[in-house]
Chain A
Amino acid sequence: MESEESKRNNLKAAKAAFQKLKTEWAKHPPNLDVCGQLLAELKVLLTELQFLHTKIDASEEELILARSCLEIGAQWSIAKKDTASFERYMKQLKCYYLDYKNKLPESAHMYPLLGLNLLFLLSQNRVAEFHIELELLPIDKILNNVYIQHPVSLEQYIMEGSYNKVHTAAHIVPDPTYAIFMESLIETLRNELARCLEKAYPKISVKGAMSILNLPNEKVLAQYSKTRNWVYSDGYYSFSGDVDEMSVDEEMPYVNVAKKMLQYAREMEMII
């Protein structure tokens, strides 16, 4: 009986703390430091309840409380631009979204957050994990849900190389929180594009480079070109990286051939 009593008290305390957090979070703009503190306190309180899924018989109320708390936590980490903490919150949230799928009513924040997680993986270039996450979602949602569709089509554009479509997609994000990862994604893409340019063009005009790399003016371009060692001469940038690679290719791969031959010899020996 005593444990029952203490459990109820814990739940009450957690609820009160959650209300506090909720009102703080709803303010425009919320005080992030206060929220962080409240979150930390709340998490301690939640561990007293069924937070860590050691038993199956947690009440719906507790689960929803924990879930909403984690959702705010994830959004808070986005606002703080703390990606590591966002990843942690998402990992914890996934249990609530997937394992308790049949027990809990669907959360309104579920798809925006899952989409955000996908975008996060994409911006970190963790494509394998991206696809694993994707397999967990029902196909209809992947094709029709705005929040999920956005990162999915982005991934497709990147794979096939239509980078300028990514740039246009960057301006029509389904949720303002997506912007933070879009920035880092575009940064990665720019480097990728620059590498493509070096390979595909012998030289490129300032205007062309600007439009392809999606840079606002010549000054920024000039700065960027310096980081990649591009040479500027009358209106064109030319690239020098290629020449070295060619000479490496020309060399005979002695070591490789010798290794292969030895391997063959060993295998033949085993067969005979």
Chain B
Amino acid sequence: MAAPSAEQSIIDVEMKNVDSPAEEVTDSEQKGSDASIILDIRENIRQIERGVATKESRFITRILRTILAIRKDLNSNILTSVVNGFYTHSASEKEFMLSFFDDQMEVESALVPVAGANAQRMRTAKNSSCPLLPEVDAYIHLLLILYLIDQSKYVAAQKCSDALMDKLSAHSRRTLDLIQARSFFYHMRAYELNDQLDACRPLFHAKLRTATLRNDFEGQAVLINCLLRSYLHYSLYDQADKLVSKSVFPETASNNEWARFLYYVGRIKAIRLEYTEAHTNLVQALRKAPQTTAVGFRQAVQKLVVTVELLLGDIPDRLIFREAAMRTALQPYFELTQAVRLGNLHTFSDVLNKFSAQFRLDKTFLMIIRLRHNVIKTGIRAIAASYSRITPENIARTLGLDSAQDAECIIAKAIRDGVLEAIIDPVNGYMQTKELVDIYCTAEPQIAFHERTAFCLELHNQSVKAMRYPPKSYGKDLESAEERREREQQDLELAKEMAEDEDDGFP
């Protein structure tokens, strides 16, 4: 291991020497910023090489985190010079990479000599003929795919991604796992933008099998999420549910992947009418999601949370509709909540008609149709609270139901479901509410208290799990113990010396 790292450091030194003249060549401002980004990319690639040499995934994680910052500034100029600089070993691969820029070649022709001049210096003469590390190769590919996606050249992005997938399948290196996981995501994205999300499913299933066998946790997490996304896009809830139940989502996956996964699971559970589970999953997803960015994701989750809460018979907190990032997106759901709270069927169907296009877009429309009976239940409960005796005819009129007989059946069902405490008097034909028992005599407060305690404990446990500890921090303790021993030794010696001094003091 020592030899390559030594070589690495030599390259580092060499590269730094070369960088300064390259900067001088670019005089205009645009070129200057381009050059600094090229520099960044080169620095990143060096980091990757170091990561591979030391087998430390930490470096690669850091590089992948900077990818979004670089993405904003990418342009064809930067990428051509990076490709020209690094693909010195194989002309065919270079040509393939450059083929994505064909249409812009004429504009860039003035810059090509500059890029060409850089080309020799990106890699040392000694290295330029040997193939690139697969990690570096994948990284440059990834940058290119991102650029093509941002330029809306989706077909080209797909082609490039396909090539990357081919290359990746040829290798089996643990250091590749993290970059590979990221590549899967953008592979899926490229296909999604081409509206062929179902086409990459077989590949992902195969990759998931391999990732599971190799304990590649990040890859597993990304792949499961990609597959779920693809299934849910086509409303294949049955398949998605089976995938969730048959695979294990890795504990150690990153928070973002967890948030996605929990959202998908929440969605599936909501469709399957398991509202309580759906709610817990969605709330967790909201908590794991980044709190300042990812507004779109949080909006989508929040919409679903509101719908599920309504289906559970709860009224969501008014506060969530007030949040600045959420306000406009949640407006339809706010009006929906109000309709349900009032228990008026007419307002409910008004809201449903008014926002039906929006609800369809959010894929919540069918769930919201299910809300109809919740509206009725709330209405009945309100009536039962205000009247002690009322005829079914009157109930039908107040709630906007079709007939008194309907009302009678609905009340009967509500009573059986435990929505209200009442009896129907068959002789005189009215509903009589039972006297309310003192709720503090029942187990009700205890149950409510238990629910809250359980929630707090769960929250505590989750946050303990979510805390991150620096790797190998136990090493520090050991060192300090060693140090202490050393210090104690020194203290002892000092004491001895002092004692000797003292001895000397007394002749």
Contacts and interface: CB of A to CB of B under 8 A. Distances in A.
Interface of A: 127-129, 131-132, 134-136, 139, 142, 156, 159-165, 193, 195-197, 199-205, 208, 211-212, 236, 253, 257, 260, 264, 267, 270-271
Contact of B373 (A159, A204, A236): A159
A161 B413 contact: yes
Contact of A160 (B376, B405, B446): B376
Complex A-B, nearest 5 residue pairs according to Cβ-Cβ distance, in ascending order: A161-B413, A160-B373, A196-B412, A200-B412, A161-B410
B406 interface: yes
A197 B366 contact: no
Contacts of B425: 202
Binding site secondary structure of chain B? helix
Interface of B: 235-238, 241, 271-274, 360, 365-366, 369-370, 372-373, 376, 401-402, 405-406, 408-416, 422-427, 443, 446, 450, 453, 457, 460-461
19 contacts: A128-B271, A129-B238, A132-B241, A134-B366, A156-B369, A160-B410, A161-B409, A161-B410, A165-B402, A196-B412, A199-B416, A200-B416, A200-B423, A202-B423, A202-B425, A205-B426, A205-B427, A260-B450, A271-B460
A201 B413 contact: no
Contact of B443 (A162, A196, A253, A270): A253
Contacts of A203: 426
Contacts of B427: 205
Given A161-B414, A200-B416, A132 B237 contact: yes
Contact of B238 (A132, A160, A208): A132
- Of the listed residues A132, A193, A204, the one surrounded by the most CB atoms of chain B closer than 10 A to its CB is A132
Given A135-B237, A164-B406, A164-B409, 8 more contacts: A135-B235, A156-B372, A165-B402, A165-B406, A193-B409, A193-B412, A201-B426, A257-B446
Contacts of A253: 443
B143 to A, nearest CB: 33
A260 B408 CA distance: 40
Binding site secondary structure of chain A? helix
Contacts of A131: 271-273, 366, 370
A79 B370 CA distance: 32
A212 B422 CA distance: 18
A270 B460 CA distance: 11
Contacts of B274: 128
A40 to B, nearest CB: 28
B456 to A, nearest CB: 9
Given A139-B365, A205-B426, A163 B409 contact: yes
A205 B365 CA distance: 42
Contacts of A136: 235-237
A159 B370 contact: yes
- Of the listed residues B274, B406, B413, B450, the one surrounded by the most CB atoms of chain A closer than 10 A to its CB is B413
- Of the listed residues B241, B408, B415, the one surrounded by the most CB atoms of chain A closer than 10 A to its CB is B408
